[in-house]
Amino acid sequence: MPTEMASHIVGYPRMGPKRELKFALESFWDGKSSAEDLQKVSADLRSSIWKQMTDAGIKHIPSNTFSYYDQVLDTTALLGAVPPRYGWNGGEIGFDTYFSMARGNASVPAMEMTNHFIVPELGPDVNFSYASHKAVEEYKEAKALGVDTVPVLVGPVSYLLLSKPAKGVEKTFSLLSLLPKILLVYKEVVSELKAAGASWIQFDEPTLVLDLESDKLQAFTDAYSELESTLSGLNVLIETYFADVPAAAFKILTSLKGVNAYGFDLVRGTKTLDLIKSEFPKGKYLFAGLVDGRNIWANDLSASLSTLLTLEGIVGKGIQLFVRADKLVVSTSTSLLHTAVDLVNETKLDQEIKSWLAFAAQKIVEVNALAKALAGHKDEAFFSANAAALASRKSSPRVTNEAVQKAAAALKDSDHRRATNVSARLDAQQKKLNLPILPTTTIGSFPQTIELRRVRREYKAKKISEEEYVKAIKEEINKVVKLQEELDIDVLVHGEPERNDMVEYFGEQLSGFAFTANGWVQSYGSRCVKPPIIYGDVSRPKPMTVFWSSAAQSMTARPMKGMLTGPVTILNWSFVRNDQPRFETTYQIALAIKDEVEDLEKAGISVIQIDEAALREGLPLRKSEHAFYLDWAVHSFRITNSGVQDTTQIHTHMCYSNFNDIIHSIIDMDADVITIENSRSDEKLLSVFREGVKYGAGIGPGVYDIHSPRIPSTDEIADRINKMLAVLETNILWVNPDCGLKTRKYTEVKPALSNMVAAAKLLRTQL
Ligand code: GLN
Ligand code: ZN
């Protein structure tokens, strides 16, 4: 019999369809607008999202998935877990303290950021207190608008597992020992939500998909047993996402006290389906995450519906028919935070490609259409339009390029390596480049001024001619080159003024990629990326960077780095085809980049940086899958430069910390020089060398944080370099910032780089 339809959204993008939040945040940070302005923009975004979901018919609408920075930092605020150096004195945490933790302030650097969130730092003497009432405020705010939402909290165990021990207790402190203390605060917030009228609550516990040891799994049992009485009277949903829930975790999860609903990612976690089929507990809610929160492809509605019908039989087993179907709730696989916001704003996108896609706003409609169909109200027209779009994607000639398919397939079981080993290559390169010890360089981009963005925008809109555009960009390059010469940097960059984004720039010139006008996704804080959509086989019709790199090299006698984005990063920062394995797509991109590397070399560029900023980001969550990923990822990188001469110096660059577990893969990439983001992770990177890993190639762990406006002093940088020299050979160490400078201002970059060069020179005299 038809029943009530049940639909749920795990979370929703917070930036707004036109990045409204980004602009509001940045204007507030720049002191150009008030806290009230920022709050107003944010409240408007929230209310329009709630209204959109209400209008679409979604039953379980989330709240507290909005954030001014990220939800983990919000949880740090909720718990009052502010590291003492930020000088917070208790009370409700305001913007000052919150943004100081995120971005640093004039006197204190920011907290570490990895994996798109600010990592909590916890030690034995944190005084937890209920210090941010945001969850309750958002719940009430929605309620006042007539929407009864499901408040979402980062679950207590995942919060601790995503934290790191504070300085000084790294080796000795057990984060999970804090569980009883933070649960006291969780109890307060849950009680307040209950008092405010909430009937559901969602805890995001994504760490349940990891391969957790038994003590960590036990923490889930402990935590929810402890919360049970506080949670009583509420429907409690535990959301898991990003991968399969391992069998052991599934058992623990489905027997948690006080919990009566479980959410699973059934897109990336297809094996979980088997567990559900064999041992889903009776009478509980199953939130089936069938609509992909991390990609932009339209759902295969008929396939999803048949999965739902199977699940319906299971969830309903042994239960009266009339209470059956609403225990099965159609949901998204993850928060929609990871996908673009609204396809409606893509007026320029090719119509055929557009028909293959669904962004967050469209996914809400898909979720609801599935819930309706499940309840016996199938919208036939909607389903058949979807089937037609899927069929057109399958058969479209724009998707397939046989020559590319063949070339990429041939790479699979082969190996690609440069002919000579790295130390011989470094000697050959040094003869040619003649660099001082502790050579200085930067990562690629220089500040992107408003003027520069205007020039690019106007050229794109055909408001200025190609000639005017080239002239303006060359002037910018020249300015950047002169500045670097004045600063006395050794290996120069052209500053990337022609690039909007390091992936988009290449995608636009490769075939098989499509672009959106507003398909932004939050990366961290106010930073957004607009991932290209890889819809077809990838090839390079013509050189992409040779023109600008040669122009830049002609402006200076110093070596000018060619600047490319590596295949793995292009893959990891794009929306990827879901109709072939990821490695196949990556090999195709690698072949295209290889052509570019060789063209740069022919044009006389002797240092070429191939950024693999996001190599680590693609690492599967489950350890058992790491080796396979790293193998094809590293191979893809080597393919790009396996054909260059010994004298051509290949650099690579990586963002974020935590390389220690993949250091052997990094070495296996066999780059001549690697620059690595480092300064925000307290030299964690260096410990791997301290512990004896031999690194023979050039290495430049970043000497200062570029995510913060703070200007590091010469002494501070010299101090950092000295720490590096303690574990790395003098002749392989490079001196460079953490990452590109595009988000900084010249007033920050000039003094920072000048101090950096001064520090390198100071140390050269002492060695
Ligand atoms: N070359 C790029 C830049 O400097 C690298 C950016 C990155 O690693 N995210 O902007
Ligand atoms: Zn970087």
Chain CA centroid to CA 544, Å? 26
Counting ligand 1 atoms within 8 A of each CB, the residue from 442, 608, 739, 743 with the most, and so the one to mutate, is: 739
SS (H, E, C) 308-348: HHHHHHHHHCCCCHHHCHHHEEEEECCCHHHCCCCHHHCCC
252-266, 693-707, 751-765: least confidently modelled range:
693-707
**679 touches 655 (CB < 8 A):** no
Please name which ligand lies nearest the alpha carbon of 743. 1
Sheet containing 62-63: order of strands: 62-63, 150-154, 200-204, 235-239, 261-265, 285-291, 328-332
| pTM for this model (two decimals) | 0.90
Q: If residue 155 lies in a helix (H) or strand (E), which one and from where to where?
A: none
Please say whether the beta carbons of 531 and 574 come within 8 A: yes
Q: What is the mean pLDDT of residues 95-106?
A: 95
Residues with CB under 6 A from ligand 1: 443-445, 496, 502, 563, 611, 613, 653, 655, 739-740, 742
18 is in an annotated binding site: no
Q: Cα–Cα distance between 367 and 384 in angstroms, integer? A: 16
Tell me how far apart the alpha carbons of residues 339 and 521 are, in angstroms, rounded to a whole number.
6
Give the pLDDT of residue 657. Answer: 61
Q: Please name every residue paired with 521 in a beta bridge, in sequence order, or none if there are none.
A: 529
Which two structure tokens, joined as six digits, stand for 84?
């003492």
- CA-derived radius of gyration, the chain: 26
**Mean pLDDT, residues 621-627 taken together:** 89
* Ligand 1 nearest-atom number relative to CA 443: 4
Distance in Å, CA 544 to ligand 2 centroid: 21
pLDDT tens digits for range 15-67: 999 999 999 999 999 999 999 999 999 999 999 999 999 999 999 999 999 99
Q: Which pLDDT value is given to residue 661?
A: 85
Residue nearest to atom 4 of ligand 1 (CA): 740
- CB-count burial class (<10 Å; 0-12, 13-18, 19+) for 106: exposed
Do 160 and 178 meet the contact criterion of CB atoms below 8 Å apart? yes
State yes or no: 527 annotated in a binding site: yes
Query: Per residue in 113-147, pLDDT tens?
Result: 887 899 999 999 899 999 999 999 999 999 999 99
- Distance from the alpha carbon of residue 613 to the mean position of ligand 1, in angstroms: 7
Cα separations (Å) of 28 from 34, 506, 524, 706, 744? 6, 32, 17, 20, 16
pLDDT(318) > 60? no
Q: Give the 3-state DSSP-derived string for 449-516, with helices as H, strands as E and coil as C.
A: CHHHHHHHHHHHCCCCCHHHHHHHHHHHHHHHHHHHHHHCCCEECCECCCCCCCCHHHHCCCEEEECC
**What is the per-residue pLDDT for 319?**
46
Query: How much distance in Å is there from the Cα of 613 to the middle of ligand 2?
Result: 5
Q: How confident is the model at residue 2 (pLDDT cuts 50, 70, 90)?
A: very low
Predicted complex ipTM: 0.99
Q: How far apart are the CA of 611 and the centre of ligand 2, in A?
A: 8
| Residue nearest atom 3 of ligand 1, based on CA coordinates | 740
Nearest CA to ligand 1 atom 7: 613
Q: pLDDT class for 156, splitting at 50, 70, 90?
A: very high
Q: Whose CA is nearest to atom 9 of ligand 1?
A: 613
Is 699 a known ligand-binding residue? no
Sign of CA dihedral 214, 218, 219, 221: positive
Task: For residue range 680-728, list pLDDT tens digits in order.
Answer: 665 677 888 888 788 889 999 999 999 889 999 999 999 999 999 999 9
Ligand 1 atom nearest residue 655's Cα: 8
443 is in an annotated binding site: yes
Give 747's pLDDT tier (boundaries 50, 70, 90): very high
What pLDDT score was predicted for residue 682?
59
pLDDT at 248 > cutoff 90: yes
Higher-confidence residue of 510 and 616: namely 510
Neighbouring residues of the ion ligand 2, judged by CB less than 5 Å: 613, 655, 739
**What integer pLDDT is reported at residue 683 of this predicted model?**
66
pLDDT at 4: 62
CB burial string 479-510: b at 16+ within 10 A, e below: ebbebbeebebbbbbbbbbbbbbbbbbbbebb
The confidence score (pLDDT) of residue 388 equals: 97
**For residue 412, how far is its CA from the centre of ligand 2 (angstroms)?**
28
Q: For the chain, what percent of residues have pLDDT higher than 70?
A: 98
> Which of the pair, 630 or 107, is modelled with greater confidence?
630
Average pLDDT over residues 641-668: 91
Mean pLDDT of the 223-250 span: 96
Mean pLDDT of the chain: 94
Query: Which candidate in 8, 60, 635, 707 is catalytic?
Result: 707
Q: 539 labelled as ligand-binding? A: no
Q: Ligand 1: which of 528, 611, 652 to mutate, most ligand atoms within 8 Å of CB?
A: 611
Atom index in ligand 1 nearest the CA of residue 563 equals 1
3-class SS at 521?
strand
Residues 258 and 716: their CA atoms lie apart, in Å, by 51
For the segment 324-336, what is each residue's pLDDT rounded down to a tens digit?
447 999 999 999 9
Is 338 catalytic? The answer is no
Interaxial angle between packed helices 71-78 and 134-144, expressed in degrees from 0 to 180 and rounded to the nearest 10: 110
* 612 CA distance to ligand 2 middle (Å): 8
677 assigned binding-site residue? yes
